[in-house]
Amino acid sequence: DAGVTQSPTHLIKTRGQHVTLRCSPISGHKSVSWYQQVLGQGPQFIFQYYEKEERGRGNFPDRFSARQFPNYSSELNVNALLLGDSALYLCASSGTGLAGPPYNEQFFGPGTRLTVL
Amino acid sequence: AQSVAQPEDQVNVAEGNPLTVKCTYSVSGNPYLFWYVQYPNRGLQFLLKYITGDNLVKGSYGFEAEFNKSQTSFHLKKPSALVSDSALYFCAVRDLMFSGGYNKLIFGAGTRLAVHP
């Protein structure tokens, strides 16, 4: 089975532009989460989507938005890009529903490296 | 607030020697702890997890982790290091206070492991 896939692999944008990142979860997984990993730091939680609805949001501004499609794939959108948005954006999928179990691991994709100039 | 700390930015070890990567945590309630590894330009790969029960958890690639409740630690260990183990290692804890469900992980800042021949 294919793991979590993300596209594109790399992306270069300029300040003020917007970007769309894509993620396909492992087949059968209905939960998708997005994380931002700035160089030298651990991943930071941005969003969780489950059954096509936003279920949780981390401490990120409204410039960040996402959605999940009927096939459970997901898009992360970032508007009005800032230099500080440069990071590796990771998508993770899980077979865990909202109610648990809380110990199921998440499976991460290879990430999209976004560079904002 | 729930958190994870990795006190060492980098760990250096000679090939064949045992290795330890340290992690301490602070959570309310039962901790669900995870270790992930990240190779250059790659996403995160799951190594192992602690749920409950045995304090010594065995994972992938010969890694194991020791859970210590009194010291609130979850150190990653391997009896004999390989050069190919050189990578970035992240400790994470499930955020059980997150109202959006069980799929939010809180990561440490990461520890770079360098295994020298």
Model confidence at A95, pLDDT cuts 50, 70, 90, reads confident
Of A42, A55, A94, the CB nearest to B109: A42
Interface test with A, best of B42, B102, B111 (most A CBs within 10 A): B102
Q: How close B16 gets to chain A, by Cα (Å)?
A: 28
B85 sits in the region (left: phi over 0; alpha: psi -120 to 50; else beta) called alpha
For B104-116, how does the pLDDT look when each residue is reduced to its tens digit (9 = 90+)?
899 999 999 999 9
A55:B44 CB<8 A: no
Instruction: Classify residue A66 as exposed, middle or buried by CB count within 10 Å of its CB (0-12, 13-18, 19+).
Output: buried
Residues on chain B touching A45 (C-beta within 8 angstroms): 95, 104-106
Å between B34 CA and nearest CA of chain A: 8
Determine the pLDDT at residue B2: 84
Query: Which tokens go with B13?
Result: 């070890």
- Residue B54, pLDDT score: 85
How distant is the alpha carbon of residue A2 from its chain centre? 18
Strands (DSSP E) found in chain A: 5-7, 10-13, 19-24, 31-37, 44-50, 53-57, 64-68, 74-78, 87-94, 107-108, 112-116
Sequence-ordered list of residues with C-beta below 8 angstroms from that of B41, at least 6 positions apart, any chain: A110, A113
Residue A67 pLDDT exceeds 90: yes
